[in-house]
């Protein structure tokens, strides 16, 4: 049986050698294989940066900002946790240096420390441990996976590594395990080199932490001799050296790690009694492997060369593709290229569908509007997300309604601000204060495409991240010409669609954030089906 709620188990995931090895996928995959064995799993991501959250970070530096149900703006790894584990997390599941220090300073100012000198040890480390334990307890889970961001040796990570070292001392031996992700590169002679892993583990041990499991990222499966060498020099059993070689898709990683014996090793180390293994994930992988069709989708955005900026969109398209039995080939199209050379718009004819994602700022917006016009006039399936809906409304207002100057007041001064701040937002000056973040309801028009996509539901809940809205002053004029607003939250427009078009659907919310493998987002599923046709 799974562990009792009073006997929380912790698995701490650290990384060495270099960043970008895949700690997040490793943590998510570890959680998935334990979930497959009947355990209730939750996850925490520790980010050592001083920002309070990821909300103000540029996609160029940090990739996508993932939005949680409570409006938390967090690192994209939490998106992987939600998708792999099929759970919903809150902002408390993302611990940053900024949050920790802000809380400690506020307590010091209130006098909570009774005049003591406030120091990293014990005050900062106690705050970190308190947050971890509180989140784990409130989740009601059996196992809490904690990913410590950054690389062992980074000065920013030191307080967090010290905190989990103290946790190891405070928890029962069977209640906490440490999993260290390292790199095993291959030299020009095709020999697997263990020295980077040895040095990484040595650095970890110098901080008082001994890994229980070593997950070795490598191009090809670890040889038995390589595993034995790592086990000998890093003082772990050979069965605790896990080969995390390159996979065709991230969703194959849990199966790979299961075959390596990771769940058996961890359940034994944590003294857990697993249930019968669920076949759900393996069946999903079989479905992926059987795909023999392909469609091409053009995602027209301004971060075209940074796939991580749109990772949830990419995954949502993949989930829909699996359900439809097709591979979705995504091309990232730079909207600014259309602005430089309008003739390039004809290159969109090679796509089965066109998607315009969310974003902020004026750059690339005219190119996106050109792509939307192409999709509307050529009956190409179109899916617009957040800004992609706003620009669809602008394009329709300009080219169908006849409001040539139509635009968003976020972007330019215009005579016809069909996208605008609503009156209750105008006087809020704090960064993020005017943003609608997280879960909001949308009431759907019965009989509409929106209602059909959501199986006849009258009310749906989706996640938001935007500031400007469709201007209510123009709704009647726009609807009179054929675009219909079929999802509403009071006076806010949530969905715009064009009846009679092959598929023209856009949402003010971000449906990609709730898409899961085996449970694709309804708008994405309908979009991929339309593209297949």
Residue 207: exposure state from Cβ atoms within 10 A (0-12, 13-18, ≥19): middle
Mapped onto helix, strand or coil, the DSSP state of residue 35 is: helix
Pairing of strands 73-74, 382-385: unpaired
Asked if 512 is an active-site residue, the reply is yes
Residue with the two structure tokens 């960043």:
19
Q: How far is CA 496 from CA 3, 383, 421, in A?
A: 47, 10, 18
Q: Which of 286, 234, 227 is nearest to 260 (CA)?
A: 227
Are residues 176 and 18 in contact, defined by beta-carbon separation less than 8 angstroms? Answer: no
Q: Provide the CB-side half-sphere exposure for 125 (13 A, CA).
A: 17
Which residue from 54, 47, 48 is spatially nearest to 68, judged by alpha carbons? Answer: 54
Does 510 participate in catalysis according to the annotation? yes
Comparing CA positions, the residue from 83, 80, 84, 531 lying closest to residue 326 is 531
3-class SS of residue 410? coil
Residues ≥6 apart with Cβ < 8 Å to 246: 218, 219, 220
**Which residue in 144, 324, 326, 386 is the catalytic one?**
386
Handedness of CA 268, 269, 271, 276 (dihedral sign): negative
Instruction: Please answer whether residues 179 and 14 qualify as being in contact, where contact means their C-beta atoms are separated by less than 8 angstroms.
Output: yes
Phi, psi (degrees; rounded to nearest 5) at 301: -145, -170
Task: Answer yes or no: 218 catalytic.
Answer: no
Q: How far is it, in rounded angstroms, from Cα 212 to Cα 175?
A: 12
C-alpha to C-alpha distance for 179 and 234, rounded to whole angstroms = 13
* Angle (CA) 301 303 305, round 5°: 115
Q: Distance between CA 334 and CA 323 in Å, rounded?
A: 28
What 3-state class would DSSP assign to 9?
A: strand
Q: Which two tokens stand for residue 126?
A: 């106690």
Can you say how many angstroms the Cα of residue 435 is from the centroid of all Cα atoms in its chain?
A: 19
Residues annotated as catalytic are 386, 510, 512
């Amino acid at each position: 049986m799974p562990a009792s709620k009073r006997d929380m188990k912790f698995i701490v995931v650290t990384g060495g050698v270099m960043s970008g090895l895949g700690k997040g996928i490793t943590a998510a995959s570890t959680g998935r294989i334990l979930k497959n064995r009947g355990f209730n799993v939750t996850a925490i991501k520790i980010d050592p940066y001083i920002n309070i959250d990821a909300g103000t970070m540029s996609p160029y530096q940090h990739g996508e900002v993932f939005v949680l149900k409570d409006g938390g703006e967090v690192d994209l790894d939490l998106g992987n946790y939600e998708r792999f584990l099929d759970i919903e997390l809150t902002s408390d599941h993302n611990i940053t240096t900024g949050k920790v220090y802000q809380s400690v300073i506020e307590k010091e100012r209130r006098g909570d420390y009774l005049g003591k000198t406030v120091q990293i040890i014990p005050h900062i480390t106690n705050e970190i441990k308190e947050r971890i334990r509180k989140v784990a307890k409130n989740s009601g889970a059996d196992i809490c996976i904690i990913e410590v961001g950054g690389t062992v040796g980074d000065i920013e990570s030191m307080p967090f590594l010290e905190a989990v070292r103290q946790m190891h001392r405070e928890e029962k031996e069977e209640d906490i395990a440490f999993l260290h992700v390292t790199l095993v590169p291959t030299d020009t002679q095709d020999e697997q080199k263990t020295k980077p892993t040895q040095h990484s583990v040595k650095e970890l041990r110098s901080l008082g932490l001994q890994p229980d499991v070593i997950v070795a990222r490598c191009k090809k499966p670890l040889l038995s001799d390589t595993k034995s060498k790592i086990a000998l020099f890093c003082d772990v059993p050979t069965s605790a050296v896990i080969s995390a070689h390159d996979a065709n898709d991230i969703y194959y990683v849990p199966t790979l790690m299961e075959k390596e014996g990771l769940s058996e090793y961890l359940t034994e180390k944590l003294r857990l009694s697993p249930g019968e293994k669920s076949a759900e994930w393996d069946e999903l992988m079989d479905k992926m492997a059987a795909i023999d069709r392909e469609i091409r989708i053009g995602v027209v955005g301004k971060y075209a060369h940074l796939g991580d900026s749109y990772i949830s969109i990419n995954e949502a398209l993949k989930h829909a593709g699996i359900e439809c039995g097709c591979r979705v080939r995504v091309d990232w199209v730079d909207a600014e290229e259309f602005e430089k050379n309008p003739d390039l718009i004809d290159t969109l004819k090679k796509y089965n569908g066109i998607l315009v994602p969310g974003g902020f700022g004026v750059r690339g917006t005219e190119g996106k509007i050109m792509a939307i016009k192409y999709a509307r006039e050529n009956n190409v399936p179109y899916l617009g997300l957040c800004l992609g809906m706003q620009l669809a409304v602008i394009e329709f207002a300009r080219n169908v309604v006849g409001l040539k100057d139509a635009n968003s007041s976020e972007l330019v001064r215009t005579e016809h601000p069909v996208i605008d701040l609503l009156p209750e937002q105008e006087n809020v000056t704090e960064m993020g204060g005017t943003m609608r973040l997280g879960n909001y309801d949308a009431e759907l028009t019965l009989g509409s495409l929106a209602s059909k996509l959501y199986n006849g539901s009258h009310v749906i809940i989706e996640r938001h991240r935007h500031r400007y809205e469709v201007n209510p002053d123009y709704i009647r004029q726009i609807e009179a010409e054929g675009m219909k607003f079929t999802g509403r939250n009071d006076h806010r427009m949530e969905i715009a669609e064009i009846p009679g078009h092959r598929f023209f659907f856009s949402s003010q919310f971000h449906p990609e954030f709730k898409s899961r493998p085996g449970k694709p987002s309804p708008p994405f599923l309908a979009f991929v089906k339309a593209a297949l046709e």
